[in-house]
Structure 1
């Protein structure tokens, strides 16, 4: 019995590696599809309600229009917040370079060899070149979002047909699993986005209030950035605390003040993300923290910033589908929550 089992494990590992390589190489194809499926799961109840009072095509057009407006607002907030920060850094480049030089000198006088490496590979001219490039890449997501919207339109047109085909599928063990798993996944993803939106709004407000009270410039921009980036687990909050800390350090010319700002921002992230959010979400979205961290970095490695955003929803979908089939239920119980299954089936 051990040899076949070992062989199956080896085959599974090889299959996982090949699938990961395929997803990475074909990211231009798979990433928009995954994002579109996520959007469809979120907006489908709205379209279904519209279809009760309007023709199907009109309901789809209204749904897509509302989705486009929401995505455009988020993209505009990101561009506005980071754009203002980039312009401020460029306008104040000379003072920031001087502060950076003082920090390097202080580190070198205390025998920190790493300071020499910083001086060799990092300077403000390099930072000024990088920041606009980051902004331009963020603006280049317009093409990606356009492709996503095309997939969303086509997907919304076929939701009913796909459900009907699954009910009539010859493989009676597959159709019910996909239907039930898909329905439960959609419910979980909508709950995930609702909780994330509430917690992101609270985080953005608290960051703005703290930055304003501390006298940090661009407090509104830091609040907006924290609100948007909070949708990206792990990586988003890290960026939302690091950038204001560096900016505050340069503004006040004091690493002690920067340390206070850093501690305050991380306290906000901890209270909202680790204390309030689990209590609002309950057990329904309970996933092992290790799995969340691995998922975020794994999908970021494969698909970049898109993967960082969509990674946790993909994990929720995979675990929910595994929970619907006896052969995969062990995985859902291992990294998920048993109470979650009981709650959804109650």
Structure 2
């Protein structure tokens, strides 16, 4: 057999096997992956705290890490508490939203003079008779307890990873007694530094855009603005698609709440401007070209990891791809793969 064909066959078989293992092992691997991501965020924020003028460099590593842990725990606690406190209110508002939706469809049908069979009237009867927004909301929120259990498991993984981090680095230092081992240690440190900084900056950007979005939605008078702001902050970790949902979902809620175009357009315009400024100006300025990932590669990686790990895969796609890019570029045999993943020629 030709050597090149044999290598390609081995790569395909190995990739398929790894994908299958990742898919069947997602109940264990997804919380572990989020634990690793949380660890990266903590160390990334600790490194950012070191850059604070005058006092940052004077803070010991333990203090900076403790502050980062406290910030992450506080954020998670506030988010969960917000979900729990707004659960009953959201369920109570669901019938109102459904009635507003039916009224909007009727208004649009009247404006288009399309009230006769089998057009708008049949759509309203056949489709919206089966649409139960309260049922959808209830089913969505019923998974809240499972999500809280997952968060607890992730926190447990994160605690053990933080405890083992220093010991693991000492082990790496001990085994780095030859050129090959030292190179692997260097690659691991490079991956840790780049992913940690990326996730820390994304967390800060997410908190910023969530806070600004909350102010805008509160100004308009949108119900449950705090809950939607948390959703927007979380979706900041999902490239491209996250921005679309961050704008589209609150705009839809505004339409269901107000039933008037003025408030809907105001919510849409303000959130669109915020996402454009953060996504197209602030994010590239802070990140620079350090990631150097092709936009097509980002979209494909999101599709691949979402198919393997569901929604969690969309959040983890970019950090995993960055780690693969650094790993591929660090070894001669896999360097061609890293060239295909990069944005630059």
Query: TM-score with structure 1 length normalisation?
Result: 0.77
Instruction: Name 1:23's counterpart in structure 2.
Output: 22
Q: Does 1:197 align with 2:197?
A: no
Q: What is the aligned partner in structure 2 of residue 96 from structure 1?
A: 97
Q: Which moved more, 1:32-41 or 1:108-117?
A: 108-117
1:9 alignment partner in structure 2: 8
- Cα–Cα, structure 1 residues 313 and 165, in superposed 2: closer, same or farther, change >3 Å? same
1:140 partner SS? helix
Rounded Cα–Cα distance in structure 2 between residues aligned with 1:113 and 1:240: 32
Alignment partners' CA distance in 1, 2:235 and 2:260: 26
Q: For residues 237-256 of structure 1, what are the structure 2 equivalents within 5 Å?
A: 237-255=243-261
2:187 is aligned to: 181
- Change in CA separation of 1:65 and 1:129 when aligned onto 2, cut-off 3 Å: farther
Partner of 2:54: none
Q: Distance in 1 between matches of 2:294 and 2:66?
A: 34
1:110-189 correspondence to structure 2 within 5 Å: 120=126, 126-166=132-172, 175-189=181-195
Whole-angstrom distance in 2 between the partners of 1:268 and 1:44? 28
CA contact (8 A) 1:104 1:116 kept: no
* CA RMSD, 1 decimal: 3.9
Correspondence list, 1:1-346, <5 A: 3-44=2-43, 67=69, 69-82=70-83, 87-105=88-106, 106=108, 109=114, 120=126, 126-166=132-172, 175-255=181-261, 257-336=263-342
**In the aligned structure 2, how far is the partner of 1:264 from the partner of 1:115?**
34
- Shift of residue 131, structure 1, vs aligned partner: 1.8
Compare 100-109 and 28-37 and name the one that shifted more. Answer: 100-109
1:223 shift after superposition:
2.9
Distance 2:179 2:219 in 1: 59
Distance of 1:181 and 1:94 partners within structure 2: 55
Q: CA deviation at 1:192?
A: 0.9
SS of aligned partner of 2:238: coil
**1: distance between equivalents of 2:122 and 2:83?**
29
Report if the CA contact (8 A) 1:232-1:308 is conserved: yes
- Deviation of 1:160 (Å): 4.5
Q: 1:148 and 1:251, CA in 2 relative to 1: closer, same or farther beyond 3 A? A: closer
Query: CA 1:177 to 1:245, structure 2 compared with 1: closer, same or farther past 3 Å?
Result: same
Aligned residues: 330
User: Alpha-carbon deviation of 1:31?
Assistant: 1.7
The farther-off stretch of 181-190 and 106-115 is 106-115
The gaps in structure 1 that reach 5 residues or longer are: 340-346
Note closer, same or farther for the CA distance 1:150–1:75 as it changes in structure 2 (3 Å cut).
closer
List per-residue Cα deviations over 1:146-187 (Å, max 9, x = no partner): 333333344344445544554565995753343112111111
Question: Are the equivalent residues in 2 in contact too, given 1:42–1:190 (CA < 8 A)?
Answer: yes
The 10-residue stretch of structure 1 (90-99 or 24-33) with the greater mean CA deviation from structure 2 = 90-99
Q: CA deviation at 1:284?
A: 1.3
Moved more, 190-199 or 37-46: 37-46
Q: Residues 41-84 of structure 1, C-alpha deviation per residue, up to 9 Å, x if partnerless? A: 4445859x9xxx99xxxx69x968963x5444333443455556
**Structure 2: where are the runs of 5+ without partners?**
51-58
